[in-house]
Structure 1
Amino acid sequence: MRPRSSPYRPVLTHPVLRRVLPGIAISALGDGMSLVAVSWLALQLAPAGQRGPWVAAAVAAYSLPSALGGAVLGRYLRHRSGAQLAGWNAILRASALAAIVLLFAAGALPPALYIGLLAVSSLLAAWGSAGRYTLIAEILPPEHHLAANGALGTLAEAAAIAGPPLAGLLIGWTNAAVVLAIDAASFAVLALTYRLVPTTPAAAPAGRTPVRFGRAQLALLALSFVFFLLFGPFYVALPLHVADDLHASATLLGLYYTVFGIGAAAGGLATAYLRRLPVWPVVLAFGVAVLPLGLGAPPALSLPAFALAGLCWAPYMPIVMAVFQRTTPPDRLSAVLAAFGSITVIAVPVGTAVGGPLVTAVGPERTLLVSAASLILLGGVAALADQAAKRATRPISSATQTAPSGPTASPCGSEPGVGSG
């Protein structure tokens, strides 16, 4: 009896993905490095005494404008193929980052211009992400979507492990602008790889039909927004927990992020084997995994728990994207995914903003406890909603089986409940 082949084999051997995945890997590493470089260059450019606001503005500018681009550019981009959307985002990122590097080298980069160019660079980010997942839906059958989504997630998580420490070393030897130059070059490589993909423009939807989510998709959108929102306070509370509650150095904070990234990389690899897993167990398990931090567990216990949290975190987006890929008509997929990204991209920054006053009011450890308990509650609510939706669809399924003929239900409307994967 032949051993079962890996679910990643059809993904890694596909002629189109063989060309694209190396470029995605290179770009992911560059973007992992930019996590450090964007804020560090803001520190260099900011006037004395104003570094905090400028760093916050730089970090926000590198992500939040994607929500605006996803919302206002739909009429121009929604009929484009996945490779075109992802390629155009890569070109814009490369061009804007290269402009930052050149202006910095010329000594003509004031902080406001730096923030503006970062904002320009992120304008198509929601469409670039939508393009990657749309490309997968265009070239692979549905049974391989989850494995391909997991491969993309694994590359991103691996980059999050390797990129920041590599950026730190390079900044120590040179400066942050050099790291952004490398990131710009990585996006240029990615843009070239998408040019190698044979593209067939997607059929344009009739008229100017607004983006509509199916009932189950709306539930997933709401679940995702709240999930990311509740994780936002961790970015404020965890550093303060390490410094104030544990009386430890930044080395321990970096170790928390490292073990989380290692767990997430492992979770990304495991994603392809979770084809029947709903989303709600992922949310519930993530909340349980981060609970030790809120309970004041020592690092010997909380570090392995945070690694487990990374393991649980990684499958979330691949499972959600697989549902959207399966339940959205091809001519609307990129627009729906861009709208999804535009809405969810603001969740973590909002959660982070809420985390500041919450930490001030109750302290970092209790903030972590509130977030963890809320995530567990969210997973429980999602589980109940999923079971209720499945019970509601059983009579419909029976009626469909006994009917002699007739039109099938819309894929968007027939998806059973929150968390079906």
Structure 2
Amino acid sequence: MTPAVLLPYRPVLGHPVLRRLLPGLATSALGDGLALVAVTWLALQLAPDGQRGTWTAFAVAAYTLPGAAGTVLLGRWLGGRSGAQLAGWDAGVRAAALGAIPVAHLAGVLDAGLYVALLAVSSLLHPWGSAGRFTLVAELLPQRHHLAANALLGVFGQAATIVGPPLAGLLIAGVGPVWVIAIDAVSFAVLAVSYRLVVPAARRDGAVRREQEDRHEREDRDEGEDEDRHRDEDAHRNEPASGFRIIARDRSLLGLLSLSFAFFFLFGPFYVAMPVYVTDDLHASAGTLAAYYTAFGVGSLLGGLLTGHLRGWPPRTTLAGIVALFGTALLPLGLGAPVVLSLPAFALAGLVWAPYQPTATALFQRRAGAADLPRVLAANGALLVLSVPLGTMLGGPATALLGARPTLLACAVAILALGLLTAGFTARHRPGRRPKETGPGQDRVRLTARSGSK
């Protein structure tokens, strides 16, 4: 990376706690990149004859979806934990559950049912782990560095989706998928140890950050928008509200979650329509499909590196623009453009896609209070985990009814329309039109009172 590209990330890379944690995050991201191929390949090997498709679908779902249940069932016990604790526990559970797969294989008891069950256990705390990572960012860094830190965490995953699958293919050919999953388990064990080592330092730095926020007004106060957070009497009860209820009470957070859910849901059918389009409409090979995904991955990696430079952009306008540009970049596929045009357009879609999640997370970090942030981020993650699979489920009947290319076109147009509608709504309800009813001192008193009620 050039010095100019690195500039927004220097405060993140130079932070003493995060600097010790980044190698573990990079290692686990690579493990997840390997798992993209290994999870499905092992499911294919373990499935009974005639049921390979069914058990592969179960395995993919089990590796992601149980986290939504974990958010609801475990919120009472996990909601008040620190970011490092939540992320460390998730990494530990993943390491143990995934590590049990090669152990069961060696014992001769691994079958498709046990495999899917262990995958489900491994994902149970995943939304809490993701919430913990970004809560830790908010605990350790000033608000102006949140976007760069969020983007840097995303870059690890984007790089892993490029490097991980081909490396997994080589390892599967050499040692088999069960041992690739064992490598994934080891990567999460490394991450769990990394979090365990940084917990004391994270607590000290987090305490310093909270003390500084008590002395100074919070920076960049949500673009000057109305300070009314629409909190009801639940915020003053001893039992903390769930992340879902906190989001439901705040129109800003609810609108942000609604936009993200709709965006990811509308992209879901692409996972069904795209392979069908390549094989039936283009009469091309799997190599062509891989080229599209590789182009998207390279674009998203570049977009992730550039995300840190968007710090001065208004985040809500940025999100609306991302959605609209993403839909526009998908139009060549839906219109049946030649591969020489649609392939770079898909790479552009990846570049535009990458800043979305870091920017949305930065808005959550800015809007939610420190005590509420883990619950809010976990609730957001739980719902977004469901959005793409639900859209993918819609893609099956849509592709059968309309055909692959019309389904791609419908999704692109719908995403473009969503972005334009959001941009119009954002411009119409631009923050700062109404005078603020509270000053900085009053706002600090209210935040302190709310934190004390927890």
What is the aligned partner in structure 1 of residue 352 from structure 2?
312
Kept in 1: contact 2:242–2:375 (CA 8 A): no
Moved >6 Å (runs of 4+) = 201-205, 408-411
Closer, same or farther: CA 366–217 of 1 in aligned 2, 3 Å? same
Q: Does 1:107 align with 2:146?
A: no
What is the aligned partner in structure 2 of residue 419 from structure 1?
none
Amino acid at match of 1:167: A
What is the aligned partner in structure 2 of residue 352 from structure 1?
392
Closer, same or farther: CA 219–289 of 1 in aligned 2, 3 Å? same
Q: How high is the TM-score relative to the length of structure 1?
A: 0.92
What is the aligned partner in structure 1 of residue 296 from structure 2?
260
- Aligned length, in residue pairs: 405
Structure 1 segment 150-169 matched on structure 2, within 5 A? 150-169=151-170
Q: Does 1:10 align with 2:49?
A: no
Q: Distance in 2 between matches of 1:44 and 1:65?
A: 23
Structure 1 segment 150-299 matched on structure 2, within 5 A? 150-197=151-198, 198=200, 199-200=202-203, 206-211=238-243, 212-213=246-247, 214-275=250-311, 276-277=313-314, 278-299=318-339
What is the aligned partner in structure 1 of residue 44 from structure 2?
43
CA drift of 1:126 comes to 0.2
CA drift of 1:110 comes to 1.5
Bigger mean CA offset, 193-202 vs 207-216: 193-202
Q: Distance in 1 between matches of 2:130 and 2:376?
A: 11
Closer, same or farther: CA 331–405 of 1 in aligned 2, 3 Å? closer
CA drift of 1:4 comes to 11
Q: Distance in 1 between matches of 2:416 and 2:26?
A: 33
Aligned equivalent of 2:434, options 395, 399, 411:
395
Q: Distance in 2 between matches of 1:96 and 1:281?
A: 40
Q: Distance in 1 between matches of 2:89 and 2:68?
A: 16
Q: Distance in 2 between matches of 1:309 and 1:156?
A: 17
Q: Distance in 2 between matches of 1:175 and 1:125?
A: 26
CA drift of 1:405 comes to 8.0
Q: Does 1:363 align with 2:403?
A: yes
Q: Distance in 2 between matches of 1:338 and 1:224?
A: 14
Q: Distance in 2 between matches of 1:23 and 1:192?
A: 8
| Percent identity between the two aligned chains | 56
Q: Distance in 1 between matches of 2:433 and 2:185?
A: 52
Q: Distance in 2 between matches of 1:18 and 1:405?
A: 35
Aligned equivalent of 1:335, options 368, 375, 378:
375
Amino acid at match of 2:389: P
The residue matched to 1:326 in structure 2 has which SS?
helix
What is the aligned partner in structure 2 of residue 415 from structure 1?
none
Kept in 1: contact 2:5–2:305 (CA 8 A): no
Q: How high is the TM-score relative to the length of structure 2?
A: 0.86
The residue matched to 2:414 in structure 1 has which SS?
helix
Q: Does 1:121 align with 2:160?
A: no
Q: Flag structure 2 segments of 5+ consecutive residues without an equivalent.
A: 211-234, 448-454
CA drift of 1:231 comes to 0.6
